[in-house]
Amino acid sequence: MVYYVIAILAVALIFDFSNGFHDSANSIATIVGTRVLSPLAAVIWAAFFNFTAAFTAGELVAKAIQKGIIKTDIVTPNLILAGLLGALIWNIITWYYGIPSSSSHALIGGYAGAGVAKVGFSAITWGTKWIQTLSFIVISPLVGFAVAFLLMVITYWIFHWASPGRVDRVFRGAQLASSALLSHAHGANDAQKTMGIMVGLLVSVKPLMANQTGIFHHLYMENDSIPLWVKMSAYSAISLGTLFGGWRIVHTLGSRITKLRPIGGFCAETGGALAISLATHYGIPVSTTHTITGSIVGVGATTRLAGVRWGLARRIVWAWIITIPAAATIAAVTFKILNAIVPM
């Protein structure tokens, strides 16, 4: 049983790695698309600032995932593993096709789908966190859109006297700061989701872990605080995932939605970072993908509405809509298979 728990923790970190790999585009697409940094330099930059969030972010998002999605008393190792596999498989599918879907919502959908497969819809803790999560599917890209649009209008007004070359030089430097801010916000919100799943697993097997000795004793949680090793491993995994990057999605976000210059990249990244940081502050598991996509569209819309490829944007929105039910369905089927093999 102990080794099964360790294996599930490893799967959780693999998902976290896939989150960073899949969502690296969120952090670096704009800075690569504007050619401020090379792809290699950009992923190193983003991975570093992903990890810095470990020292500043709280635990509200992690606790929202652990306690606010399904009832904690039905959680078992099989349920956790099925939820993770549902999210992981959906991440792989969307990465393969270059679709910037939400790893966050894939995890939430997978976790909920496994719970429903076990006890039905009574597994869902309908309440504040679900309202916030579902609302922010719409709110986060709109906030990103609005902030990026407003920043573009303000910066255009301030720099209207300057030549395009001079504006590019100014915002090439500024975009380094905005990209770092976005990567930090990404790590702070997304790594916590995996932390919440890992803690949910440890709580579900807490009686078993109490009697372990040696290295296995670290699996035992004495109180509700998240163990340091859980935090460090989660932030390390997502940072490594970012370091390896998902170039298919980088291309979609960085160049296919709208054409970006450094001033636009700065506004998109700043708008996205502010929206994500606000959600993290209130413990809302928001989608980094949704937010930065909305921000990029907001930047494109300041030039002219025709400057945004709305057909591609619509396909991305459809991917957002189906992510939770798709991951939930995969997780539900996986749970039934796991329970038939290893009843638990």
pLDDT, position 65: 92
DSSP 267-289: HHHHHHHHHHHHHHHTT----HH
Q: Which of 96-105, 131-140, 212-221, 226-235 has the lowest mean pLDDT?
A: 212-221
Higher pLDDT, 41 or 63: 63
Q: How far is CA 143 from CA 13, 50, 61, 147, 150, in A?
A: 30, 22, 19, 6, 11
Residue 14 has pLDDT above 60, yes or no: yes
**Can you tell me whether residue 70 is helix, strand or coil?**
strand
Tally of CB atoms within 10 A around 255: 15
Residue 56 in this model has a pLDDT that exceeds 80: yes
> What mean pLDDT, rounded, does the chain reach?
84
Query: What percentage of the chain reaches a pLDDT higher than 70?
Result: 85
Write out pLDDT tens, residues 248-296. 545 544 444 446 678 888 898 899 999 999 999 989 888 887 788 888 8
Decide if pLDDT at 305 tops 70: no
Q: What is the DSSP letter of 227?
A: P
Specify which residues 70 forms β-bridges with. Answer: 124
Q: Judging by beta carbons within 10 Å of its beta carbon (0-12, 13-18, 19+), is residue 55 exposed, middle or buried?
A: exposed
Q: How far apart are CA 83 and CA 233, in angstroms?
A: 19
- Predicted TM-score (pTM) of this structure: 0.86
d(CA 36, CA 274) in angstroms, rounded, equals 21
Report whether pLDDT(199) > 60: yes
Rounded-to-integer distance, Cα 287 and Cα 55, Å: 21
| Of the candidates 59, 336, 84, 19, the residue with the CA atom closest to the CA atom of residue 223 | 59
Share of the chain above pLDDT 90, in %: 38
- 110: tokens are 């997978």
Q: Which position has the token pair 């649009």?
A: 149
Q: For tokens 């290893």, what's the residue?
A: 342
| Comparison of pLDDT for 85 and 34, the residue scoring more | 85
Segment 199-205 mean pLDDT: 89
Cα gap 105→31, rounded to integer Å: 25
pLDDT tens digits, one per residue of 214-230: 667 677 666 677 888 99
C-alpha 206/C-alpha 72 separation (Å) is 13
Lowest mean pLDDT among 6-15, 101-110, 267-276, 307-316: 307-316
* pLDDT, position 304: 60
Write out 97-136 in H/E/C secondary structure: CCCCCCHHHHHHHHHHHHHHHHHCHHHECCCHHHHHHHHH
Closest CA to 288 of 66, 98, 137: 137
List the alpha helices (DSSP H) in the chain.
2-33, 39-52, 60-68, 77-96, 103-119, 128-158, 164-204, 206-209, 228-244, 247-251, 262-281, 288-303, 310-341
Given this model, what pLDDT does residue 136 score?
84
What pLDDT digit, counting tens, does each position of 180-192 carry? 999 999 899 999 9
pLDDT tier at 24 (50, 70, 90 boundaries)?
low
What's residue 25's pLDDT? 65
Q: Rounded to an integer, what distance in angstroms lies between the CA atom of residue 314 and that of residue 298?
A: 15
> Rounded to the nearest 10 degrees, what angle do helices 103-119 and 2-33 cross at?
150
Q: Are 250 and 242 in contact (CB under 8 A)?
A: no
The pLDDT, as a whole number, for residue 71 is 93
- CA gap 246, 92 in Å, rounded: 11
Round to whole Å and give the CA distance between 344 and 302: 55
Q: Which of 71-80, 97-106, 121-130, 229-238 has the lowest mean pLDDT?
A: 97-106
State yes or no: pLDDT of 309 exceeds 60: no
Q: What is the pLDDT of residue 257?
A: 43
